[in-house]
Structure 1
Amino acid sequence: MRSKLFVPCSRPEFFAKALAGDADALSFDLEDAVPEGDKAAARSRLVEWLRSDAVASSGKRMIVRINALDSPFFADDLAALAGIRVDCVNLPKASSPAAVRMVAVQMESAGIAADLLVNIETPRGISQAAGIAGAHPRVIGLQVGLNDLFASLGVDRRDLRHVQTALWSIRLAAGEAERFAFDGAWPDLADDDGFRAEAELARSLGYPGKSCIHPRQVTIANALFDTGEDVARARRLLAAAGEAGTRGHGAFLFEGAMADAPAVAAAREAVRRADGNEGTA
């Protein structure tokens, strides 16, 4: 999942355009993108769309960002998703493992057979991130929510030093629970360079993709997170490691550089991800 495009449920005219676009996944937003007075109508429009033949035949991953557990809209959001195609539920503002388990249990009771992607976007959430990631088998990963997190703390959103600190912390928490971490959205539509810089940072930290709020950002994300060349190199390294092993060598020269057990483990992980063994990442 290199790119995940947010689609506001207050703007149903965007639904078909998003489905026809290049994003690997679509995240239909019932939370921040929908005014309180339009929540019910937006929810109904989304359900109708997700029941359409167009969605049924699409290979894109369908994600729905519902409203937070402590909001007055949570219960209706979750109930509306029963019996329709939803590949993943995106839970915002998760604050504890217990809250995530509660949501997972309610999903099971409602018959919603979807994964959970959990947002880390509050100070408490980031302090509990590892526990949240491992709270329930339905949780496939953590999604970064820097806008809310930084705004609540008065942190400069454009300073990459601060971004790196947050991304690294959330990546470590996800890794501890053997889940993936997915990068959040860059809010400035006019600043492609800012989006690219943040995406490059996320990629360097092992994030598989980035959230987008415009199709132009999707193009950038798809190019940056295309791992084809990296995976090909990893397969070559594993083949070379096999040959070295037959000669009794633990370390060996590979394409001009020394490779050893950590390099082999990293290559094996890259191939595992590429072969689809890490959820949606």
Structure 2
Amino acid sequence: MRSKLFVPGGRPELFAKALAGAADALSLDLEDSVLDTMKAQARALVAAFVASDEAREAAKLIIVRVNSPDGEYFEDDIRAVARDGLGLLNLPKIETAAALRQAVQAIEAAEQENGVATPIRLLVNIETPRALAHAAAIAVADPRVAGLQLGLGDLFEPHGIDRADRANVHAAMFTMRMAAAGAGIFAVDGAFADIDDTEGFMAEAGMARRLGFIGKSCIHPRQIALAHAVFAPSPEELAMARRVVAAAREASETGRGAFTVDGRMIDLPFLKRAQAIVATAR
């Protein structure tokens, strides 16, 4: 998931266009992009799209960001979209492991009501200071949690934290990435609001990639190609990774537990990284 494109849930004219676009994943939004007066209509539109043959057969990960679990729209949202075929359910404003487990109880009830066969995986937003402080506990709170997503706008803006200072961004990214790594789940970067600031987008995405994030959220189709460029392995990285994977295969076949590639001793962490790079290239 190098790129995840946000699509406003109240804009059905964008659904098919986004589905035909280049993003690896689509995130249909029922939260911030939808006015309160439009929540019910957007919910119905998104539910119908997620259940459509076009969405089910598309080679894209389909995600729905619902409204906050402590708000009035959450239960209606999950009853509408918690269906077989939904790729990930994106939960905003989760601040503690207890809050996550409480939300899961409501999701389980909606799944049972809708006859969902396989529990829906969760992408949990880390977007408040309290959430960042509890990110490691949130990440392991339930086996449904597939990944964490960083939300720097909500995390920084209300508290006067300068996002232009890369040290601030790195600190938040590193903390969340370690929480995800400890749980064995993925981390994905949040959105970058200035659509015209290509340099800023790529700098922030590049930092995320170097920290092991799998991709970045996009709020405009123009950002998709930028995300793909940043999160694609370089030819040198890919060539090295392929040599490591090939050497590991040969070592296994000859009963050797340790081996070197280009003078470097390779153990399991290096092999896992190489395998991930090769998988991304595919």
* Secondary structure class of the residue paired with 1:200: helix
Out of 240, 246, 268, the position equivalent to 1:233 is: 240
Map 1:73-112 → 2, pairs under 5 A = 73-83=73-83, 85-111=85-111, 112=116
Deviation at 1:54, TM superposition (A): 1.5
1:218 and 2:221 equivalent? Answer: no
TM-score by length of structure 2 reads 0.89
Distance 1:53 1:250, change over 3 A: closer
1:10 and 2:10 equivalent? Answer: yes
Deviation at 1:232, TM superposition (A): 4.4
Letter in 1 for 2:95: S
CA distance in 1, matches of 2:88, 2:257: 44
Map 1:86-235 → 2, pairs under 5 A = 86-111=86-111, 112=116, 113-227=119-233, 229=235, 230-235=237-242
Compare 35-44 and 101-110 and name the one that shifted more.
101-110
- Per-residue CA deviations over 1:139-192 (Å, capped at 9, x if unaligned) read 011000000000132101222111111101100111111111110000001111
CA distance in 2, matches of 1:12, 1:249: 55
Map 1:6-45 → 2, pairs under 5 A = 6-45=6-45
TM-score by length of structure 1 reads 0.89
Unaligned runs of 5+ in 1: 277-281
Deviation at 1:249, TM superposition (A): 9.6
CA distance in 1, matches of 2:29, 2:264: 45
Unaligned runs of 5+ in 2: none
Letter in 2 for 1:67: N
Which residue number corresponds to residue 275 of structure 2?
271
- Identical amino acids, percent of aligned pairs: 47
- Is the contact made by 1:88 and 1:117 (CA closer than 8 Å) also made in structure 2? yes
- Per-residue CA deviations over 1:17-47 (Å, capped at 9, x if unaligned) read 1001000000001001111111111111111
Distance 1:12 1:252, change over 3 A: same
- Is the contact made by 1:50 and 1:84 (CA closer than 8 Å) also made in structure 2? no
Deviation at 1:273, TM superposition (A): 7.0
- Is the contact made by 1:241 and 1:252 (CA closer than 8 Å) also made in structure 2? no
- Per-residue CA deviations over 1:183-204 (Å, capped at 9, x if unaligned) read 0000001111111110111101
Compare 131-140 and 47-56 and name the one that shifted more.
47-56
Distance 1:237 1:44, change over 3 A: same
Compare 155-164 and 206-215 and name the one that shifted more.
155-164
Which residue number corresponds to residue 54 of structure 1?
54
- Is the contact made by 2:233 and 2:277 (CA closer than 8 Å) also made in structure 1? no
- Is the contact made by 1:27 and 1:65 (CA closer than 8 Å) also made in structure 2? yes
CA RMSD of aligned residues (A): 2.3
Which residue number corresponds to residue 279 of structure 1?
none
CA distance in 2, matches of 1:90, 1:31: 10
- Per-residue CA deviations over 1:90-140 (Å, capped at 9, x if unaligned) read 001111111111222222222153210000000110000001011111001
CA distance in 1, matches of 2:278, 2:97: 29
Distance 1:234 1:273, change over 3 A: closer
CA distance in 1, matches of 2:122, 2:210: 24
Distance 1:96 1:249, change over 3 A: closer
CA distance in 1, matches of 2:93, 2:155: 9
Deviation at 1:85, TM superposition (A): 3.2
Letter in 2 for 1:128: H
* Secondary structure class of the residue paired with 1:211: strand
